[in-house]
Structure 1
Amino acid sequence: MLLEIDNLKLLYGRIEALHGISLHVEQGEIVALIGANGAGKTTTMKAISGLHAISGGSIKFDGADVSRLRADLRVIRGIGQSPEGRGVFPGMTVLENLEMGAYTRKDKADIAKDLAMVFDLFPRLQERRKQAGGTLSGGEQQMLAVGRALMTRPKLLLLDEPSMGLAPKLIQQIFEIITRINEQGTTILLVEQNAQQALSRAHRGYVLETGRIVKEGTGQELLHDPAVKEAYLGVA
Structure 2
Amino acid sequence: MPLLELDALSAHYGRIQALHDITLHVDEGEIVTLIGANGAGKTTTMRVISGIRPVSSGVLRFDGQDVSSLRADLRVVRGISQSPEGRGVFPGMTVLENLDMGAYTRKDRKSLGEDLDRVFELFPRLAERRTQAGGTLSGGEQQMLAIGRALMAKPRLLLLDEPSMGLAPQFIQQIFRIITEINSQGVTVLLVEQNAQQALQRAHRAYVIETGRITKSGTGEELLADPAIKEAYLGVA
Under TM normalisation by the shorter chain, which class is it? over 0.9
SS at match of 1:228: helix
SS at match of 1:220: helix
SS at match of 2:201: helix
Name the counterpart of 1:222.
223
SS at match of 1:227: helix
Superimposed CA distance per residue, residues 29-70 of structure 1 (whole angstroms, 9 cap, x where no aligned partner): 000000000000000000000000111001000111000000
Name the counterpart of 1:40.
41
SS at match of 2:228: helix
Name the counterpart of 1:82.
83
Give the TM-score of the pair, scaled to structure 2: 0.99
Rounded to whole Å, the distance in 2 between the matches of 1:98 and 1:223 is 35
Name the counterpart of 1:118.
119
Superimposed CA distance per residue, residues 184-233 of structure 1 (whole angstroms, 9 cap, x where no aligned partner): 00000000000000000000000000000000000000011000000000
SS at match of 1:207: strand
Name the counterpart of 1:20.
21
Rounded to whole Å, the distance in 1 between the matches of 2:72 and 2:92 is 24
How large is the Cα RMSD of the aligned pairs? 0.5
SS at match of 1:16: strand
Count residues in correspondence: 236
Deviation (angstroms), 1:109:
2.3
Pairs within 5 Å for 1:196-207: 196-207=197-208
Give the TM-score of the pair, scaled to structure 1: 0.99
SS at match of 2:6: strand
SS at match of 1:206: strand
SS at match of 1:46: helix
What amino acid maps onto 2:64 in structure 1?
G
Rounded to whole Å, the distance in 1 between the matches of 2:12 and 2:174 is 36
What amino acid maps onto 1:203 in structure 2?
H
Deviation (angstroms), 1:110:
1.4
What amino acid maps onto 1:180 in structure 2?
E
Pairs within 5 Å for 1:56-135: 56-135=57-136
Deviation (angstroms), 1:149:
0.1
In structure 1, stretches of 5+ residues that fail to align are none
In structure 2, stretches of 5+ residues that fail to align are none
After TM superposition, which residue ranges in structure 1, 4 or more long, deviate above 4 angstroms? none
What amino acid maps onto 1:169 in structure 2?
Q
Pairs within 5 Å for 1:188-203: 188-203=189-204
Q: Percent identity?
A: 76
Deviation (angstroms), 1:108:
2.0
Name the counterpart of 2:212.
211
Rounded to whole Å, the distance in 1 between the matches of 2:109 and 2:37 is 42
